[in-house]
Amino acid sequence: MKLRLVSGDETNDLALLQAPSPFKDVAKIRQNPIPVGNGVVAIGYPYHGLLTSDFTVTTGIVSSLSGILNDTRFLQISAAVQPGNSGGPLFDLGGSVVGVVAAKLDAVTVARATGTIPENINFAIKTGALRDFLDNSAVQYQTAEWRDSLKRETPEIAKDARGYTLLIVCKVNEQSAGAKKP
């Protein structure tokens, strides 16, 4: 299906895309902040076509409530992510979205600077930035509050995510890209 770009947030690397028809299933965004040490599930399409055409599921924990240089827009997570996970949902163990996968620490750059290879240092945009973006775009969304009784198994979370997690492939039409040609 073709999606239409409605709005974007370059600072937080978020985009709002409109589908031709509404989705039957929707994700819920966690209302209360996730604490350090809580488990998370990352879903995405890393190296799509090279490894698998299906989405992948990885688990980890929230390692820190801030990113590089204490950037509080981010969660630091230990769930493994690769190129292709960006933009994918990060869930708590109840299946609510706690972030949007954004990046992984550049291992080569860190190794050159420190002499050591970093492991499992990845980042997701927190739901505060996501909710602000959706609010500013006048998009309605559902929220959920965490309770220990909501804890679910990873396969259940992944099964539900199939209803609202899509592979997005960006293609630019030369006509829509503008008339700037050398």
Asked if pLDDT for residue 182 goes beyond 60, the answer is no
Task: State residue 61's pLDDT score.
Answer: 98
Asked if pLDDT for residue 180 goes beyond 70, the answer is no
CATH of the domain at 96: 2.40.10.10
Find the farthest-apart pair of alpha carbons in the chain and give their distance in angstroms, rounded.
60
Q: Model confidence over 111-170: pLDDT tens digits?
A: 999 999 999 999 999 999 999 999 999 999 999 988 777 899 999 999 999 988 988 887
Give domain status of residue 155, yes or no: yes
Question: How many distinct structural domains can be found in the chain?
Answer: 1
Residues 101 and 85: beta-carbon distance below 8 Å: yes
- Relative to beta strand 56-64, strand 39-44 is antiparallel
Give domain status of residue 97, yes or no: yes
Residues 3 and 168: beta-carbon distance below 8 Å: yes
User: Domain residues for 116?
Assistant: 26-161
Separation between Cα atoms, residue 56 and residue 45, nearest integer Å: 6
Give domain status of residue 171, yes or no: no
pLDDT band per the 50, 70, 90 thresholds, residue 181: very low
Separation between Cα atoms, residue 32 and residue 157, nearest integer Å: 19
Question: pTM of the predicted model, to two decimals?
Answer: 0.89
Give domain status of residue 178, yes or no: no
Structure tokens at 154: 């990873």
